[in-house]
Structure 1
Amino acid sequence: MVIKQVKHWMKLRANAAAWKAITDWAEAREARFDQNEEGDGFLIDEPKNPLGHLRIEWGPSQRAYIEGQELRLRWELGVHPELQMMAIERELRDVLEKAVFEAYTDTLQTRIDTDTPEEMRWLVMFQQIENWKSKLARARFSVCSVTKEVAAAWCDDALSDALALASQDLVAQGQPFVMLTQRGNLYVRTAAAQPTLDQIKNIVSLAEVAAKGAKRVDQLLGEAATWPNTASSAWQPSTRSPEPDA
């Protein structure tokens, strides 16, 4: 028991040294940095961020489509809870879309409704846009929402350019990546075996562009005083079938 406690203490100390640059960056932003009890992850909590309370976590994956460790982010933007939009890495989109269609055709719709994450259901609930500014971003990511107009409004020049930049080094081809808005927040998930400070900073920069875009879209929809119906409990699959295997 004592040996186990010593090993755990040594692991926490080693992590503190390895993550010092990240800790210093968090403190410079008036955020709190904490390791988890197991020593296999950490939390950066930044309640004073100008756009809203920001939480950055690294630890064991909470989604089956990400193996090992994941880097995740939650930004409390205070936008309308029905503002639902998503950007997803294309190879992951194809894998999840195929899985959802196979499950649906296997007459398991009830299980899909209750157990399947939103990011999977949205692939058949929502409309995906194909004609947006950056060809590079379009080749690597798919963007969808309840209507194409909402998705296009979010994926304007700023987000399109930010996704194009992310495709260069932040999100490698085939790397699981999902960024979406729901319940008034912005969420990001991506695979990360061992995050670096640069990776965290770049994820936050990308999320900041998306967050500002979400606030802008929220304002536009608020001014229109009309919200599209996004009731996920009554979803039906779209007519678009998943692309065949290469």
Structure 2
Amino acid sequence: MVVKQVKHWLVTRANAARWRPIQEWAEARGAEFSQTRDGQGFLIEHPGASPGPLRVEWGVSQRSYLPGTELRMRCEMGLHPDLQTMVLCRALMENLERAVFEAYTDTLKTRVDTDTPEEMRWLVMFPKFNHAASQIVRQRYGIVGVTKELTGAWVDGELGEALVQASQDLLPEGHPFVLMCMRGNLYLRTEMAEADLPKVQALVRLLETAAREARRVNDGLSETGVWPTTTSIAWTPSTRLGDT
């Protein structure tokens, strides 16, 4: 027991030094930084963030399609529940589509299990948006949403420009990445072997851009969730996106 406690103390102390730049950046923003109980990851909570309370967590992946460790983030927005959209790495989308197809065609299954994450079920439930204004966005990312009109309104604009910029180095081709608007909030997940301050900062900026654009689209929705050019039919997910 003593040896285990000493080992834990050494790991925690080493990681405290390792993540010092991230902690200082977070605290300079007015956020609270803490290590996870096992000392193998960290959590940043920023209730006063704009455009909404922000939670950033780095640690062991909670998704099988993200090997090793991941960065996961949530921005609480209080958006209309009908605003359900997703952008993900195209290679990841193709892999998840194959997994969903296998689940549907498995002779022992008649449906996708309810514990299947939303990112997989949405590929079945929602239409794809293949007409993004940017050719790079069309080539590098898969995009789905409750309606094509809502999805296009979210992606074509500042968010599309940010995705193009991210594709140059932050999110290289094939790098697992998911950005979702659901349950009124924005969520981002991506594989990250080591917590790196510049990458964390850049991904936070990307999430904030997506959140601002989601707010803009949200302001165009009526109280019933109707977008000016169509009627959106919501499908309410029944599971949670990990612990984020």
TM-score (norm 2): 0.90
Tell me, in whole angstroms, the C-alpha distance in 2 between the residues paired with 1:20 and 1:208: 23
Map of 2:205 onto structure 1: 205
Map of 1:183 onto structure 2: 183
Q: How far apart are residue 17 of structure 1 and its match? A: 0.7
Map of 1:101 onto structure 2: 101
Q: Which amino acid aligns with 2:123?
A: L
Tell me, in whole angstroms, the C-alpha distance in 1 between the residues paired with 2:59 and 2:115: 22
List alignment gaps of at least 5 residues for structure 1: 234-246
Contact 2:69 2:192 in 1 (8 A): yes
Alignment of 1:72-151 (within 5 A): 72-106=72-106, 108-110=109-111, 112-151=112-151
Map of 2:4 onto structure 1: 4
Q: How far apart are residue 133 of structure 1 and its match? A: 2.0
Tell me, in whole angstroms, the C-alpha distance in 2 between the residues paired with 1:84 and 1:113: 20
Tell me, in whole angstroms, the C-alpha distance in 1 between the residues paired with 2:10 and 2:225: 57
Q: Cα distance 1:231–1:225, how it changes in 2: closer, same or farther (>3 A)?
A: closer
Between 194-203 and 124-133, report the one with greater CA deviation.
124-133
Contact 2:75 2:186 in 1 (8 A): yes
Q: Which amino acid aligns with 1:17?
A: A
Between 22-31 and 138-147, report the one with greater CA deviation.
138-147
Give me the CA root mean square deviation: 1.5
Map of 1:16 onto structure 2: 16
Tell me, in whole angstroms, the C-alpha distance in 2 between the residues paired with 1:202 and 1:109: 41
Tell me, in whole angstroms, the C-alpha distance in 1 between the residues paired with 2:96 and 2:157: 27
Map of 2:232 onto structure 1: 228
Tell me, in whole angstroms, the C-alpha distance in 2 between the residues paired with 1:225 and 1:37: 41
The number of aligned residues is 232
Tell me, in whole angstroms, the C-alpha distance in 1 between the residues paired with 2:43 and 2:123: 30
Q: Cα distance 1:166–1:109, how it changes in 2: closer, same or farther (>3 A)?
A: farther
Q: Which amino acid aligns with 2:194?
A: Q
Contact 2:88 2:178 in 1 (8 A): yes
Structure 1: which 4+ aligned runs deviate by more than 4 Å?
Answer: none
Q: Which amino acid aligns with 2:215?
A: K
Tell me, in whole angstroms, the C-alpha distance in 1 between the residues paired with 2:100 and 2:14: 42
Q: How far apart are residue 82 of structure 1 and its match? A: 2.6
Q: Which amino acid aligns with 1:38?
A: D
Tell me, in whole angstroms, the C-alpha distance in 1 between the residues paired with 2:135 and 2:167: 11
Tell me, in whole angstroms, the C-alpha distance in 2 between the residues paired with 1:170 and 1:41: 21
Map of 2:242 onto structure 1: none
List alignment gaps of at least 5 residues for structure 2: 238-244
Q: How far apart are residue 113 of structure 1 and its match? A: 4.5
Deviations 1:59-114 (A, max 9, x none): 1111111111010000001101231000000000000011112211225244x141
Alignment of 1:33-48 (within 5 A): 33-48=33-48
| More helix per residue | 1
Map of 1:237 onto structure 2: none
TM-score (norm 1): 0.90
Q: Which amino acid aligns with 1:228?
A: S
Residue 52 of structure 2 corresponds to residue 52 of structure 1: yes
Q: How far apart are residue 225 of structure 1 and its match? A: 5.2
